[in-house]
Amino acid sequence: MRISDLIKMGLRNLGRRKARTALTVVGVVIGTISIMLMVAIGQGINYNFEKQIMENGSMTIIRIYTYAWGENENGEYQEYQQVLNEELIAQLREIKHVKAVSPVMEKYIELYSGKYMTGISLKIMDCATFADFGFPALEYGTYPTPEQNETIVFGYEALNEFYYNNGRTYQTKTVDLAKDRVNFTFRDYDTTDVKKQFRYVVKDYAKIAACDQWEYGWYCYVDYEFYKELYTRYANTLKPADKKKAMESLERYDTIQINVDNMKHVTEVQEAIEELGYRTESDMQYIQPMLDTSDMLQKVFLAIGAVAFVVAAINIANTMIMSIYERTKEIGIMKVLGCYIKDIKKLFLFEAGIIGCIGGMVGVGLSYVAAYLLNEYGGAFLGSLMTIAGGEADTGAAYCIIPFWLPFAAILVAISVGILSGYLPARRATKISAIEAMKNEG
């Protein structure tokens, strides 16, 4: 048989039993809609989740703290003191997928501008890694570089609320670096009166542009090497005993911060560091179980969709078997008239495939409508699903997202399901003997 004849005959056969064909198609339509919506909801969850992670940032960052809590061999929690030094940094740089490693220190400093002052945290990091850790854009100035490392980077809130308090009046002011001179000092040890107090007058400065990451607000940033210089100068103003301690503190880091090239590798890198004998922390640790939950939820959704499809497949198989019973004589006649077995098989597979195809196409169309309705009116219900998945559902978000490949995949799946469920009936049809044509019961 020619393909064109096969198609014509297949369509004619489906047309002969319009109601039955339509009902079978409806089964596939429901299957397609359910699988498409389930995938779309899964995509929606993923999308919202990723969006939140993006907003939080720092998902790729691992931190090693000097003082870490962890379980010991006996399963008891205890505090560990870890030695974080240059040697360890060198080791960490060797680990695969590690993009950047920086020591991190945090010091309380007091900033002065005329009679106004404020206290703030100074974050000390290797300035060569600023870019790798994704520091935000600057409002003015430039980030320090290893060659030009004397820049103090102010957070976007750091210059607000300098205050003056003489006991009677309390005044605040926002410092303008272009006009006001600013100096600062450390407050780690009591200063002696003997020597002149340490004060560093800020020469090079930069300010971070306002952004939604809080860690760039009430902080100042400075390069580690430059900090060593400053701190050595500060130590020189201290009493001998304090000076020794201060100098020693420069050799150990509070924290080491590591940036991994991809979210997916965070766990892997953490494990590698733990093998070196260090305890680590990352936001990923807390997110991972949520990701797992969302992953599982999507699989559950897919399974629900698949169940509808299995029912549709059984339905198709049933329709085809019924159709073969009805057409036993016809198949016999076809055989007697010289139809190849292969063509009979093709005919039935084609009919089953067409049921799948029509069902798939109608299902895809209705899925878009359903997705629209769900996004528009289904917020309350789907929003609760999002919270199960660990995300916060905000109103107006897209709950169902149909990716461009999904309709094609759905139709393809529908056709395949049709053909697969038509396969056994089709084989059965080929086994019908030509004798059926010779029987004379009407």
The angle subtended at Cα 45 by Cα 40 and Cα 47, nearest 5°, is: 90
Which runs of E-coded beta strand occur in 160-270? 162-165, 170-173, 183-186, 200-201, 204-208, 219-223, 255-260
CB of 339 to other proteins, least distance (A): 5
Comparing CB distances to other proteins, the nearer of 1 and 68 is 1
Comparing CB distances to other proteins, the nearer of 219 and 350 is 350
Instruction: Give the number of C-alpha atoms closer than 13 A to the C-alpha of residue 425, restricted to the C-beta side.
Output: 29
Comparing CB distances to other proteins, the nearer of 213 and 430 is 430
Q: Give dist(CA 389, CA 290) in Å, integer.
A: 6
Comparing CB distances to other proteins, the nearer of 334 and 357 is 334
Q: Give dist(CA 316, CA 428) in Å, integer.
A: 15
CB of 317 to other proteins, least distance (A): 23
Q: Are strands 67-71 and 162-165 parallel, antiparallel or unpaired?
A: unpaired
Give a three-class secondary structure readout of 292-358: HHHHHHHHHHHHHHHHHHHHHHHHHHHHHHHHHHHCHHHHHHHHHCCCCHHHHHHHHHHHHHHHHHH
CB of 42 to other proteins, least distance (A): 44
| Residue ranges binding other proteins (CB under 8 A) | 1-2, 4-5, 9, 12-13, 16, 329-330, 333-343, 433-435, 437-438, 440-442
Please name the amino acid found at residue 310: V
Comparing CB distances to other proteins, the nearer of 13 and 280 is 13
Q: Give dist(CA 166, CA 75) in Å, integer.
A: 54
Comparing CB distances to other proteins, the nearer of 244 and 439 is 439
Q: Which positions ≥6 away from 190 have C-beta within 8 Å?
A: 242
Comparing CB distances to other proteins, the nearer of 13 and 294 is 13
Phi then psi dihedrals of residue 173, to 5 deg: -155, 150
Q: 59 is written with which tokens?
A: 């998902």
CB of 329 to other proteins, least distance (A): 7
CB of 350 to other proteins, least distance (A): 14
